[in-house]
Amino acid sequence: MSASCGAAVGMLDMQVHADRLRMEAAEEPAQVATGVPTKTTQIIAIYGKGGIGKSFTLANLSYMMAQQGKKVLLIGCDPKSDTTSLLFGGRACPTILETSARKKAAGDQVAIGDVCFKRDGVFAMELGGPEVGRGCGGRGIIHGFELLEKLGFHEWGFDYVLLDFLGDVVCGGFGLPIARDMCQKVIIVGSNDLQSLYVANNVCSAVEYFRKLGGNVGVAGIVINKDDGTGEAQAFADAAGVPVLAAIPAHEDIRRKSASYEIIGRPGGRWSEVFEGLAQNVADAPPLRPSPLSQDALLALFKTEQAGRDVRLEPATTEDMCAATVENRRSLEVIYDAV
């Protein structure tokens, strides 16, 4: 094949890919059912800033719940597909989207055993997501839940279904549980830093917005991870009107064991009391209507030198924006005298 022909084929492939993405973006997502699996199931969506420790918190929380005799399903709804990695000792879990695509290409149906795996009483699965630049992560979440419904999601008999969502992405797919009442309550994982509390405040704002539209989802509380005792997350919880469900200390033993994919939420272990208390609080906490903070109120939780509250906003001028002096020309607007 000549170089010109190869270039033409490459351009054609790029055009086909671009057209496919446009068609995908133009499609309206199918409506996802909003019922609950059983009357006794608590469906809880966990949100938080990327890297704040949601997967760590959920893996240990779900493990502790299972050890307490509860039937728990953990669903990772993050395109990184890392929710279940700690639970399975660092092993990757086949995602629903990847498995669905592979099975569909082979003309086969997806079965529960293809996408759901268990360890010591905890059932877990990953929705997955598209490769970077090749699709919409939020749409992947919607598609994943559509497949779960076909597998019988609303007939499963779990005590708790924990959904791990990325909190600093605000597109529709990631807000699905709140927008469509797919869960009863939301738990936020945060820390004593501005960025994680900014995300926490956004989640509270989303819950409040949909409550005004008639939604029923509430915030059960916040888990403070890597708590260094400075108190900003506690102050945020007090101001937003939500309880602190647990404070997981910033401790080297926890960091080291988490990095080596070791579960610390075991009965009788060094940190068992933290996760036993968290499990009980998660079970008992009612879904509350939060009071989101304004941007200034959020910044006010931090010291002046951290938040920059002593900085004055100085308006820019046209001269500031241009390299040369700008001539102030008279307007050409015609003003007519009143008749």
To the query of whether residue 284 is one of the catalytic residues in this protein, the response is no
Catalytic residue among 80, 118, 181, 193: 80
Strand order across the 160-164 sheet: 117-119, 122-126, 72-76, 160-164, 42-48, 185-190, 218-227, 244-249
To the query of whether residue 39 is one of the catalytic residues in this protein, the response is no
Catalytic residue among 49, 185, 226, 257: 49
7-42 per-residue burial string, b: 16 or more CB within 10 A, e: under 16: eeeeeeeeeeeeeeeeeeeeeebeebeeebbeeebb
First to last CA, the chain: 77
Two tokens, residue 44: 């809880």
Catalytic residue among 54, 185, 226, 257: 54
How large is the angle between the packed helices 272-284 and 54-67, nearest 10 degrees? 90
CA atoms within 13 A on the CB side of 267: 8
Burial class (CB in 10 A: 0-12, 13-18, 19+), 295: exposed
Task: Mention every residue, 6+ apart, whose C-beta is less than 8 A from residue 95.
Answer: 81, 115, 126, 127, 128, 129
Burial class (CB in 10 A: 0-12, 13-18, 19+), 199: buried
To the query of whether residue 257 is one of the catalytic residues in this protein, the response is no
Two tokens, residue 232: 């900003």
To the query of whether residue 120 is one of the catalytic residues in this protein, the response is no
The Cα-based distances of 117 to 72, 243, 306 in angstroms read 12, 33, 44
Catalytic residue among 82, 114, 159, 168: 168
CA gap 272, 64 in Å, rounded: 8
CA gap 263, 260 in Å, rounded: 9
- Report the Cα 284 to chain-centroid distance in Å: 22
Task: Mention every residue, 6+ apart, whose C-beta is less than 8 A from residue 39.
Answer: none
Would strands 42-48 and 185-190 be described as parallel, antiparallel, or unpaired? parallel
Catalytic center residues: 49, 54, 80, 168
